[in-house]
Structure 1
Amino acid sequence: MISIENEGKVKHNKSVATKLTPIEYKEITKLVEAGIYLNSSDFVREAIRDKLKAIKVVKIRDVDYEIAKKEVLGYYRSHLEAYISEVAEDLELDLELVIKITNELKKERRLDEV
């Protein structure tokens, strides 16, 4: 299959082969026969898209402690309430570092516990 991409570039779709157990194949066939999927390839494409959406790669930046502390405090000030895991993910900081900073900010009374 070929599709046209922006700027006149041609994009070729790729094929991936895999082996299924007889039970897996039978289950997919039942779904196709029930009209839920057009064919087994349709099922596989949707399963891959669902899996790719479910997996999120988390990047962690290597940041000086004081800079990270300022970022965490700024995050809490702009969001008012947030889970520590959200702060770590949004700022791309190590979770343990954010926990340490959050606890320190509470001790310094610069951050209130909700």
Structure 2
Amino acid sequence: MPYVNQKETKQSKTIGTKLTPREYEEISGLVDAGIYLSASDFVRESIRDKLKSIRVIKIRDVDYETAKKEVLGYYRSYDEAYISEVSEDLELDLELVNQITEELEHEGRLKGI
């Protein structure tokens, strides 16, 4: 068996919770139907799904010119993108990205990209 450094290995954590009888029965029914391997499997998958659906959008604090260069670069990399996608991917304020996009369009720098 290969050596495993315990400090480098992330260990699983256990979280306890209480369910209503109805919730427990519904989960047990899904397990009995073979949809999930166990109640724990259901809980793990449910948690993963929930975490995927909740994204915290970070907003970086950058000066206007830096943001403008990043937005222009983004549009050069992706021919088309919604302003919300640019904002999210670059972690820039939506209103700032909208303002920059309008300015770049006015300057003619987004044509042909």
TM-score normalized by the length of structure 1: 0.81
Deviation at 1:49, TM superposition (A): 1.8
Answer yes or no: is the 8 Å Cα contact 1:71–1:91 preserved in 2. yes
CA separation of 1:65 and 1:50: change in aligned 2, threshold 3 A: same
Q: Tell me which residue corresponds to 1:76.
A: 75
CA–CA separation in structure 2 for the residues paired with 1:37 and 1:72: 44
Moved over 3 A (4+): none
AA of the residue aligned to 1:31: L
Q: What residue number does 2:5 align with?
A: 8
Q: CA RMSD in A?
A: 2.2
1:17 aligns with 2:16: yes
User: Shift in Å at residue 18 of structure 1?
Assistant: 1.1
Which residue in the other structure is 1:46 paired with?
45
Q: Which has the higher contact order (CA 8 A, sep 6+)?
A: 2
Q: Percent identity?
A: 69
1:20 deviates by: 1.5
More strand by share: 1
Structure 2: unaligned runs, 5 residues or longer:
none
Shift of 1:68: 0.6
99-108 vs 8-17, which moves further = 8-17
Aligned pairs, number: 109
1:40 Cα deviation from its structure 2 partner = 1.2
